[in-house]
Amino acid sequence: MLLRLLSLASVGLLAAAEILSLSELEWTLRNEKANINVPAQAPSQVHLDLKDANVISEPLLGINDFAQRWIVNETWIYEADLSTFIRQRSHGAQSDRTLLVFYGLDTVANITLAGHPVAWVNNQFQQYVYDVTDFLRAPVNNDTALVISFESAYLYGRNVSMRADVEPQLVIDFEWPGARGFVRKTSSDFGWDWGPGFVPAGVFRPAYLVTLTDKPKEASAHSTPVTHPLLLSDKASGLFIEESTLEIHKLGQNPIVRPDESAPWVVNVSLAVRSMRADTRPTLTISIPELKVTSGPLTLSPIPAASNSSTFISAAFQIPDSVPQRWYPHNLGTPKLYNFTITLSVDGLPPASYIVRSGFRTVYLAQTAYSQEDIEQRGITPGDQWHFEVNGKAFYSLGTNIIPFDPFYARISTDKARWVLESAVKSGQNMLRAWGGGIYQPSDELTGGYDFYSICDELGILVWSEFIFSDETYPINDFFLATVEPEVRQNVRRIKKHPSNVQWAGGNEIEVILLLVNSTIQPVPQRFFDEFELLFVDFLHGIVTQEQTSVAYQDCSTTNGALSLDPYVLRLNNVTAGHIYGNTELYNYDTSQSFNYSTYPVARFVNEFGFISMPSFYSWEEVLESPEDFSFNSTVVVSRDHHPPPTNLSWPNPAAPQGQGQMTLGVEQWLPRPSTSDSNQTFAQWCYSTQIFQSLYMTSEIAYYRRGSGRGENNLGALMWQLNDIWQGVSWSAIEYSGRWKVVQYGLSNIFSPVIVYPFWTPETETLEVAVTSDKWEAVKGSVQLTWYDWSGHALNTSSLSFSVPSLNSTEIHKAVGLDNILPRGSKAEDVWMHVNLTAKVDGQTVTHEQQFVPTSLANSKLVDPKIKVTHKPNLTFTLSARGGVAPFTWIDHPAGTVGYFVDVATGKPLNGFYLIPGQDRTVRFVQSSALSKVAHPAPTDFVVRSLWNNTHL
Compute, in degrees rounded to 10, the torsion defined by CA atoms 814, 819, 821, 823: 90
d(CA 22, CA 748): 42
d(CA 141, CA 144): 9
Indicate the burial class of 70 (C-beta count within 10 angstroms; 0-12, 13-18, 19 or more). exposed
DSSP-derived pairing of the beta strands 584-586 and 606-609: parallel
Please tell me whether residue 930 adopts helix, strand or coil conformation.
coil
Which amino acid, residue 40?
A: A
Cα–Cα distances (Å) from 868 to 683, 687, 851, 882, 918, in that order, read 21, 21, 21, 5, 9
Confirm if 647 and 177 have CB atoms less than 8 A apart. Answer: yes
d(CA 27, CA 39): 6
Whether the link from the prior residue into 785 is cis, omega within 30° of 0, is no
For 280-316, the DSSP string reads: SS-EEEEEEGGGTEE---EE---B--EEEEEEEEEEE
* Cα–Cα nearest to 26, from 48, 4, 49: 49
For 675-743, the DSSP string reads: --S-HHHHHHHHHHHHHHHHHHHHHHHHHHHHHGGGSTT---EEEES-S--SSSSSBS-SB-TTS-B-H
For residue 858, give every residue at least 6 positions away whose Cβ sits within 8 Å of its Cβ, in sequence order, or none.
Answer: 670, 671, 672, 888, 948
Beta strands in 190-299 (DSSP E): 207-212, 239-250, 265-275, 283-288, 293-294, 298-299
- Can you list the alpha helix ranges (DSSP code H) found in 534-641? 540-547, 617-621, 635-639
**CA quadruple 625, 630, 635, 641: dihedral positive or negative?**
positive
- Residues carrying an active site annotation: 509
Give 464's strand partners.
433, 503
Confirm if 831 and 794 have CB atoms less than 8 A apart. Answer: no
Compute, in degrees rounded to 10, the torsion defined by CA atoms 593, 594, 599, 604: 180
Confirm if 312 and 377 have CB atoms less than 8 A apart. Answer: no
Please tell me whether residue 627 adopts helix, strand or coil conformation.
helix
d(CA 902, CA 923): 10
d(CA 757, CA 822): 17
**C-alpha gyration radius of the chain:** 29
